Amino acid sequence: MRALRSTRQDAGEPGGSGVESNRDFDFTSADFERIRALIHRRAGISLSDHKRDMAYSRLARRLRTLGLDSFREYLDQLEARNDAAEWEAFTNALTTNLTAFFREAHHFPILADFVKRRGSQPVSVWCSAASTGEEPYSIAMTLVEALGDRAAREARVLATDLDTQVLAKADAGVYSFDQVKHLSPERLKRFFFKGTGSHSGLVKVRPELRAMIKFEQLNLTDADYGLRTTFDAIFCRNVMIYFDKPTQAQVLTRFEPLMKPDGLLFAGHSENFTYVTQAFRLRGQTVYELTRGAASAAPRRANDALGVPA
């Protein structure tokens, strides 16, 4: 059995909290630096010093599950064996998935107006950091409210995330009352079933809404997303904050040919792309559009991706 390590003092080590903590496993600065480098390489995530305790507690669970005695052993194994499942568990453990229905609510009326103005064209929206699903379901509800019956036939949402665990939750579409407490009674009735018996206290997304969304795993730091289409709108909210500037710039470069020329890019409240790229310009309220030069280049590149001669 693993012995409980004695209380140790983190003060003085980079990222140390300065408070004493009881830990099951030794966790050195070298371990943390290795974790930082690995998660940056795999997911673009830059873990700041103050995420040290978070990294410890989330990965300590993996050590316990695998019956390992030290972080060093865990990280050695992770790097030596090309075990896709463990890499997945490692990245899932280090993502932050906080989200909510209609989070940053001012974006949804903007989306509704935008799709209404597009007349009879089909609408496609990509939610690129979908987490547990609240954001893509909010987008789909907005499309139904804006387009009525047409939405089921002509509006589609692609919802992607790196974390497979959150995607499984999103796919199930089951939420607690607490998670939907801010939705209006009209929305609750229109878009959710209420659980009864052993499911009381829960709601489930109605199949019509669920059918508008396709959930898939996608790593925003991959060189090629494998998407061969263009979107009217891309939601990329509250994920770029975890990336450094060069990674943000790469992601925005990959978004450019995936946007319709007059499409919209929605960012999180604390994310500012103006300093990262010239391809997008701020339209207001953390909503971006392609700049003129990018707009004229976009259709040509999209056609390339579709295999259509320019």
- Let me know if 76 is a catalytic residue: no
Choice between 45 and 68, CB closer to ligand SAM: 45
Selecting among 58, 62, 118, 187, the annotated active-site residue is 58
> Cβ-count burial of 156 within 10 angstroms (0-12 exposed, 13-18 middle, 19+ buried)?
buried
Q: Does 162 bind ligand SAM (CB under 6 A)?
A: yes
Decide the pairing of beta strands 202-205 and 123-127. unpaired
Q: Does 179 bind ligand SAM (CB under 6 A)?
A: no
* Of 255, 305, 265, 258, the residue nearest 288 (C-alpha): 265
Longest Cα–Cα distance in the chain: 67
> Edge to edge, what strands does the sheet with 259-267 contain?
213-217, 155-161, 123-127, 231-236, 259-267, 287-290, 280-284
The CA distance from 257 to 99, in Å, is: 27
Contacts to ligand SAM from residues 96-135, by CB under 6 A? 96-99, 103, 129, 131, 135
Shortest CB 121 distance to ligand SAM, Å: 25
The CA distance from 9 to 17, in Å, is: 9
Question: Which of these ranges, 108-116, 216-224, 273-281, 296-304, lies near ligand SAM under the rule CB under 6 A?
Answer: 216-224
Q: Does 271 bind ligand SAM (CB under 6 A)?
A: no
The CA distance from 286 to 277, in Å, is: 14
- Let me know if 244 is a catalytic residue: no
Question: Which of these ranges, 17-25, 47-55, 187-195, 214-222, lies near ligand SAM under the rule CB under 6 A?
Answer: 214-222
Whole-Å CA distances, 42 to 29, 46, 94, 134, 298: 20, 11, 11, 25, 28
Q: Which of 31, 161, 232, 289 lies at the binding interface for ligand SAM (CB under 6 A)?
A: 161
Q: Does 259 bind ligand SAM (CB under 6 A)?
A: no
Concatenated DSSP letters of 29-52: HHHHHHHHHHHHHHH-B---GGGH
Selecting among 10, 31, 161, 232, the annotated active-site residue is 161
Q: Does 10 bind ligand SAM (CB under 6 A)?
A: no
Question: Which of these ranges, 67-75, 191-199, 213-221, 259-267, lies near ligand SAM under the rule CB under 6 A?
Answer: 213-221
Shortest CB 237 distance to ligand SAM, Å: 4
Decide the pairing of beta strands 231-236 and 123-127. parallel
How many residues bind ligand SAM (CB under 6 A)? The answer is: 24
One-letter amino acid for residue 3 of the chain: A
Q: Does 303 bind ligand SAM (CB under 6 A)?
A: no
The site for ligand SAM (CB under 6 A) is made up of: 43-45, 95-99, 103, 129, 131, 135, 161-163, 166, 219-221, 237-239, 242, 268
Residues assigned a catalytic role: 58, 161
